Structure 1
Amino acid sequence: MSADSEVLTYPNWVFSMFAFIGFLLSIIPLPWHLEAWNTGTCLFMIWTGLACLNQFINSIIWNGNVINWAPVWCDISTRFMIGSAVAIPAASLCINRRLYYIATANAVTITKSERRRAVLVDLGIGIGIPVLEMVLQYIDQGHRFNIFEDIGCYPFTYNTWVAYVVDVTWPLAIGCVSAVYCLLSIRSFNKRRAQFKELLSANNNLNSNRYFRLMCLAATEILCTIPLSCWSIYLNVTSQPIQPWKGWDDTHSDFSRVGQYPSVIWHLDKGTAISLETSRWFVIFCSMVFFAYFGFADEARKNYRAAIDSVAKRVGLSTGGSFGSTLWSSTG
C-alpha cells in the first residue's frame, strides 16, 4: 500500500463493538418515546438502530473474508442500506416539520384528527420515501451487490446520470428541505417567544427542554447530512467517469454478478476506502449524537431508575436514595 493511498486502519472488532453499542444506544430510549408518540424521533431511533445492527452483523460475518456466505441476506442488507441512507435524513425532516408547525401554530389546542394526520404524514415521509428509494435504486443497480472484506455486503449503483436522479442526490435534497424548516422554526421562535410556552402546553409530550434537544438533534443531522451528501456526489463524479445511460438491458446485462474485494484491494483506492468507512461509521455517529441529546435527559433518568427498581424487586433487592447514588441492601 502506497503512502498516498494509505488510510487509517484499525482492528475490525473495534467497529463491530461500536456498531453494537450504537444499536443499544438507539434502542434504549425507544419505549418511552413510543409512549409519547414522537413519530419523527421514533423513526430516527428505529432506522439508526437497525442500520447499526445491520452493519454489526455484516462486520461479524465477513470479518477477514469475502466469501458469499449468505446471498439472500446480502440482498436484504444492501436494500436496507439504500433505504436507511435516505431514512435518517427523512426522520430528521419529520422532526423539523413538527418543530416548525409548533412554532407557527395559531391555535393552542390540537385535535385528535390533526394529531392523527400529522402521524400519517410523518410515516409517509419517514417510511414511504425510503421504501420508494429502495425500489427506484433497482433501476440503476448494475449488479447484485459487492462484498468488501471486514465491511460485508454493499450495494452497487452504476454511475450514470440516472443514478443521480433516483439515488445519489436524495439525501442532499431531503437535507436542504429539512434545513429550510429548521431555519423557519428558529425565525418563528424568535418572533413568538411570548407565546412559546403556551404553544408547548398544547403538546402534552413536549416541553421546552425536549423541544430544544430535538432542534439540536435535527440541526446536527443537517450539518452532517448536507456536507457528506455533497462530498459523496463529488466522489462519484470525480472518482470515475459518468457513463451514458443505454437502457435497462445494458445496465442489467450482468446483474447476477457479485463483486468480492479483499481488504488489501479496496484499501488501495483512498477514495473508495474513505467512502466505505465514512458511510458505515456515520450511522454509529448518529446513534451517539441521539443518545448524547436524549440519553441523559430527565425522562431518561426517570426511566432508568424505574428499570433498576423493577430489576431489583425481581432479584429481592431494594433501592433507596437518588439515582446514581443508590445504596443497595438485601431484603431476604
Structure 2
Amino acid sequence: MHSEFPPVAFLAALSLLLPLPWHWRAGNVATLSIIAWLFILNVVYGVDAIIWANNVNIVIPVWCDITSKIIIGSTFALPAACLCICIHLERVASVHRAKTSQRDKRIRQLFELFMCFGLPMVFMGLHHIVQGHRFDIIEEYGCRPTTYVSIPAIFLIWVPPLTLSAITLGFACASFVHFMRRRITFAHHLDASRSGLTTSRYFRLMLMAVVEMIWNIVVTSYTLWFSTLDLRPWTNWDDVHSNFSRIDLYATAFTPQIVITNFYLIWWVVPASTFIFVAFFAFGKDAVDEYTACIVWIRRNVLKQTAPASVPPAKYVSARRFAVGTENAQV
C-alpha cells in the first residue's frame, strides 16, 4: 500500500496556492491554467488513492468517466500553457512587438483561454476515437483513461503534446536570442514594453517553461515507448469499440511487476511537475513580497495591531494594495 500518495498529492495541490494571488491579480491566463490543471489533477490523484487503496471496486463510475477525461485533457493543456508563455515572452522581447497595449493583452488572454482550455477539450473529445473501453481501475491508483494503442492513437494522444513541447522550446530559444542581442538594454526594453515584466520575472517564466517542457518530453516519450510495446492494428470502428462499456480492473496481486512499476513512475509525474512549477514562483522576491503584504494586512485588519516602528511604511502600502486588489498587474 502506498500510504504516501494522498498526503503528497494534497500537499502538492495546496502548494499551488502560494503563487496563485500574484498570477490572479496579474491576469496571467497561461500560468493560472497551469495552476488550475495541476490542482485538479493532484486532488483527483489524492482522492483516488484514498478510495481505491487495496481494492478495485467499481464504486463511483461517473467520477471515473469525468476524471479519466480530465487526465487526457491535461496532457495537452500543460504544454499548450507553456507554449503560450514562451510566445508572449518572445513577442515582448522582440523589437517588432515593443509595445503591449490593453487590446494586445485582451487578444492574448483570449488566445490563451482557447489554447489552455478549448484545445484540451477538443482532444478530450477526439480521444473517444481511440478509447477501446470505458476506463480502467488500478488498485492503489484509481481511475485511469484507456487507449486502444495503435497508429491513430500515437498521432492523437502522444504526437500533439510532443509537438507543442518542441515548439515551446523553439520560442524559448528565440526569446533567449532576443536577450543576447539586447542584453545591455534589455531591462529598459522590458520596462518600455509596458508588459509588467522585469528581467527576473522574464527569465523565471522562460526557465519554468523550458524545464517543464523538457520534463514533459521525457515523460511523454517514455509513456509512448512503454505503451507501444503492445501496439495493436487498427481494424475498424466497431471492432475497436466493441464491448465499450467494459471496465478493466487491475489488482496488484495479478498485475505484472513491470506494469506496476510503470503505474508508480507515472503517478509521480503530476506531483513532480507541481513542485517544479511552485519552485520557480513560490520563493522569489515577488512571492516574498506577497507573503509580507498578506501578513501585514492580517495584522492590521484581523488582529488590529498597529504598525511597529521597525516595519517600513512601504510594506503597509503593499498591504493596502493587497487588500483592495489594485496592485499593478505583472506579466
TM-score normalised by structure 2 residue count: 0.88
Match of 2:28 among 38, 44, 48: 38
Matches within 5 A, 1:167-246: 167-201=157-191, 202-238=193-229, 240=230, 242-246=231-235
Shift of 1:308: 2.5
CA distance in 2, matches of 1:145, 1:42: 29
Q: Contact 2:92 / 2:195 at 8 angstroms: preserved in 1?
A: no
Offset from partner CA, 1:192-251 (integer Å, 9 cap, x none): 22442233112343211111111110111122111222222111222x1x2221222111
Shift of 1:319: 7.2
Are residues 299 and 177 of structure 1, via their aligned partners in 2, closer, same or farther at CA, if it must alter by over 3 Å?
A: same
Are residues 228 and 110 of structure 1, via their aligned partners in 2, closer, same or farther at CA, if it must alter by over 3 Å?
A: same
Match of 2:269 among 279, 282, 302: 282
Matches within 5 A, 1:1-332: 11-201=1-191, 202-238=193-229, 240=230, 242-266=231-255, 268-270=256-258, 272-312=259-299, 313-315=301-303, 320=308
Q: Percent identity?
A: 31
Aligned-partner residue type, residue 210 of structure 2? A
Shift of 1:179: 1.1
CA distance in 1, matches of 2:194, 2:51: 45
Aligned-partner residue type, residue 295 of structure 2? I
Q: Contact 2:91 / 2:97 at 8 angstroms: preserved in 1?
A: no
CA distance in 1, matches of 2:74, 2:210: 19
Q: Name the SS for the 1:255 alignment partner.
A: coil
Q: Contact 1:108 / 1:198 at 8 angstroms: preserved in 2?
A: no
Residues 30-39 or 67-76, more deviating: 30-39
Are residues 225 and 322 of structure 1, via their aligned partners in 2, closer, same or farther at CA, if it must alter by over 3 Å?
A: farther
Which runs of 5 or more residues in structure 2 are unaligned?
Answer: 313-331
Shift of 1:107: 4.5
CA distance in 2, matches of 1:208, 1:90: 23
Q: Name the SS for the 2:21 alignment partner.
A: helix
Are residues 286 and 34 of structure 1, via their aligned partners in 2, closer, same or farther at CA, if it must alter by over 3 Å?
A: same
Q: Pairwise CA RMSD of aligned residues? A: 1.9
Residues 296-305 or 253-262, more deviating: 296-305
Q: Name the SS for the 1:169 alignment partner.
A: helix
TM-score normalised by structure 1 residue count: 0.87
Shift of 1:14: 0.8
Offset from partner CA, 1:307-326 (integer Å, 9 cap, x none): 32344442455675579xxx
Shift of 1:93: 1.0
Q: Contact 1:99 / 1:185 at 8 angstroms: preserved in 2?
A: yes
Q: Name the SS for the 2:268 alignment partner.
A: helix
Aligned-partner residue type, residue 221 of structure 1? E
CA distance in 2, matches of 1:102, 1:286: 26
Q: Name the SS for the 2:244 alignment partner.
A: coil
Which runs of 5 or more residues in structure 1 are unaligned?
Answer: 1-10, 324-332
Are residues 12 and 189 of structure 1, via their aligned partners in 2, closer, same or farther at CA, if it must alter by over 3 Å?
A: same
Offset from partner CA, 1:41-77 (integer Å, 9 cap, x none): 1111111111111111111111111111100000001
Aligned-partner residue type, residue 245 of structure 1? W
